[in-house]
Structure 1
Amino acid sequence: MSKLPIGQRLIVAVFACLIDSAFTFGFNLVLIPNMKQPITDWLKTMHSNVDDKPITTSAGILGYTVNPPLIRLLHAFIFIGSSIGGLLSIRMAKKVGRKGGLLMTSFISAFAALFAGYSKFFESSLLLFIGCFLIGIKIGISSSLGPLYLMEISPNKIRVRVTGLFSLFVTVGVLASFFICKYIGNKDYWPLVFSLNVIPAVIQLLILPSCPESPKYLSVIKGKELEAKNALKWLRGDNYNEEEINELRAELYQRRALGVLTLKDIVNNDVLLHALLISTMISDSSDRVSLQENGRSFERVKFKYLGMILMSQIKLRKFRKIAICKTVLPEKEKMKCISSSKV
């Protein structure tokens, strides 16, 4: 990998990160909805007899019928796993690093593909649920560490564009999932679609170990300035300059002086509180927009545009008012509360 031209090294590192974090995220996000019918039919077959009676009434498993609760439970396992993975990513980012955490998710993805892919062969719905749970954990970890790694290895001039590739690859993964499920996501081959998760995992395991760890992690978290400088030289080549390492050194000194920030420190700091409220509002609106099955798209979209306006125009004291409105008031009264606040 070190023999590659300098410009191509960053491209390879970015691709190695995206292929099994962003792409797999999008691919698995819509996998079960795209194969809902064949998976539901198989679950019916697996749980068709309780006291020699088909499960078609409220006498079924846990008092429910197989269709649709089990398929919904299967989807829920992914989201439960992603929540746990998101929490784990915080500690993993500090303990094993950004690159180390991404490599660990490749193994998780491989095991998930193994469990879910062989569930039909072994006639075990438990394997399918375990596989979906592992997929969720992988999504939760990689969706946090992936953008973080991209941001920290990218030059300042193109950092936003490189980090934005994560969203692009998520969309590509969703599109790939749709076409693959359309052609082979049937009653005979749906386990094969789950097994395809192993391909991005193998690609990442082959390429990412040759790429350096995040320079910021090495310098600021671990205090290894020499290794951080070597990582920057690998990534930048002739474009390497001391300014980046000086910025990392200054951040390290600041971290040692201030210590670890707590939530109380953020709330008491106007600048940090400003950024926290903006990011929370826009993140919340993005999640709402992405889940439109309840038909209240306007209620979700309005906070996205409101956040964009707030980012450039509204003063900090109005942020506090809006944060309170958004937290404690019903959906219909939030806009009235926000519009009544004065700058």
Structure 2
Amino acid sequence: MDKPQNDHPADHKQSITACLLSAAFFGALGSSFIYGYNLSVVNAPALFIKAFYNTTWIERYGEPLAAETATLLWSVTVSIFAIGGLLGALAVSIILKVLGRKGTLLLNNGFAVIAALLLTLGERAKSFEMLIIGRLIIGVNSGIALSALPMYLGEITPRHIRGSIGQFNSILICLGVFTGQVLGLPELLGQESRWSYLFSFLALPAILQLCVLPFLPESPRYLLIERRDEAGAERAFQRFLGKKDVSQELEEVHAEARAQENQHMASMLQLLRSPAVRWQLITIIITMACYQLCGLNAIWYYTNGILRNAGFAENIIPYITLTTGAIETLAAIISVSIVTLNQSNVRFWA
């Protein structure tokens, strides 16, 4: 049996700092949480939103909304969130390069606040177009967030706890889904007179992130490689890691920068043609495709309708829906425990 070794003794002694924990929690709260919330928030008020569309159509054109048009409008309202996510994901690399990781997250809060206003005021303005545009904008917010946040967390976190801190992303997504289901209960905001306030809640996580994130450091890697600010990178490492001597961490980033200078940046076509990464690409593509095509997002969007068509009583549908979110959140928390345990075992037997 191999003897336990400890190649990185400092890793075991170093604790998680308040600065690092705040960055992980509030970063995920204003990013992943909002994404998860938007996956489930349209489910509970679906009937009320459709009724609003029909009422608005009658006031404008003097006739009820045709069934085909109603289906089309509702489908666009739901699915345009994904289109916005695609646009955000495509634009995020440019924003990250200009504003940095933290700056991108801060800018992204503006999209969340604008979307919250459009979605909340659409009913009062009698404009279903405002709801559709609001869903598009919050989709852009989610596309940016799900790209920028993992990068920020990965670059500010010590190697030995990177997996655990990275789980804030998935846990806050599940909590966002669960929160949307809770607030959508009939006893809370899942009523015809209150459904628009479900979208007002979007602004709260964004505002909380705006209040906290400016006081936290930028990614040391971004400061060192992109901005050539070694003093700023050193201060950022010191705050995130809670120690004065960060020379080893700085040298690791320097080594990464030197390696990047000697590397040729491959295009997407070159990447797809390269035999060296073919199996990695196949693994990633199949895994992500299965995750997206398993129907999970459709379940979040249409859970109440699915259960209603299945014959469940109307008064218990919201609570069945709530259990799905609770189980997913529990599974995410358990996965963090498993990842943390595996990391500990790997370090112990390395």
8 Å Cα contact 1:105/1:141 also seen in 2: yes
1:268 CA drift (Å) = 6.2
Please name the residue that 1:261 is paired with: 266
Which AA in structure 2 matches 1:37?
Answer: L
Measure, in 1, the Cα distance between the counterparts of 2:281 and 2:247: 31
Secondary structure of the equivalent of 2:255? Answer: helix
Matched, 1:65 2:69: yes
Q: Deviations over 1:30-76 (max 9, x none)?
A: 2112221111111111112575332336xxxxxx332x221111112
Residues in 2 aligned to 1:199 and 1:33: alpha-carbon distance in whole angstroms: 20
| Structure 1 position 266, deviation (Å) | 3.4
Specify the alignment match of 1:141 in structure 2: 144
- Aligned: 1:11 with 2:52: no
Q: Which range moved further: 153-162 or 255-264?
A: 255-264
1:41 aligns with 2:48: no
How many angstroms apart in 1 are the aligned matches of 2:39 and 2:140? 12
Q: TM-score, normalised by structure 1?
A: 0.77
Decide which of 210, 234, 253 is 1:205's aligned counterpart.
Answer: 210
CA deviation map 1:131-182 (0-9, x unaligned):
1111111011101111111111111000011112211110010000001011
Residues 257-297 of structure 1 show CA distances to partners (whole Å, capped at 9, x for unaligned) of: 224332355356555444333222211221122346699xx
Contact 1:213 1:231 in 2 (8 A): yes
Amino acid at match of 1:16: F
- Determine if the alignment matches structure 1 residue 52 to structure 2 residue 52: no
The amino acid across from 1:78 in the alignment is F
| Cα distance change of structure 1 residues 87 and 39 upon mapping to structure 2, 3 Å threshold | same
Higher deviation after alignment, 233-242 or 126-135? 233-242
- Cross-structure match for 2:105: 102
Question: Which residue among 281, 286, 306 is the counterpart of 1:281?
Answer: 286
| Alpha-carbon distance between aligned partners in 2 of 1:171 and 1:184, rounded to the nearest angstrom | 20
Deviation (angstroms), 1:20: 0.8
**Residue-by-residue CA offset, 1:81-129 (whole Å, 9 max, x unaligned):** 1111111112112221111111011111011111111111222222212
- 8 A Cα contact 1:86 1:141, kept in partner: yes
Query: Cα 1:177–1:45, aligned 2, differ >3 Å: closer, same or farther?
Result: same
Q: Is the 8 A contact 1:232 1:240 kept in 2?
A: no
Pairwise mapping of residues 173-322 of structure 1 onto structure 2 (< 5 A)?
Answer: 173-182=176-185, 183-238=188-243, 240-263=245-268, 265-267=270-272, 270-289=275-294, 290-291=296-297
Matched, 1:30 2:40: yes
Distance 1:253 1:51, change over 3 A: closer
Question: Residue 122 of structure 1: SS of its match in structure 2?
Answer: coil
Give TM-score, length-normalised by structure 2: 0.75
Q: Within the alignment, does 1:130 sit opposite 2:133 as a pair?
A: yes
Aligned to 2:199, the other structure's residue is in SS state helix
Deviation at 1:240, TM superposition (A): 4.8
Unaligned runs of 5+ in 1: 58-63, 296-343
Q: Structure 2, unaligned stretches of length 5 or more?
A: 1-14, 307-350
Shift of 1:17: 0.4
Alignment of 1:75-114 (within 5 A): 75-114=78-117
Letter in 1 for 2:175: V
Kindly report the root-mean-square deviation, in angstroms, between the aligned alpha carbons of the 2 structures.
Answer: 2.3
Shift of 1:185: 2.4
Where relative contact order (Cα < 8 A, 6+ residues apart) is larger, the structure is 2
Matched-pair contact (CA < 8 Å) for 2:183–2:198: yes
Q: Does the CA-based 8 Å contact 1:151-1:159 persist in structure 2?
A: yes
Distance 1:44 1:273, change over 3 A: same
Percent of residue pairs bearing the same amino acid type: 26
1:219–1:268 CA distance, 2 compared to 1 (3 A): farther
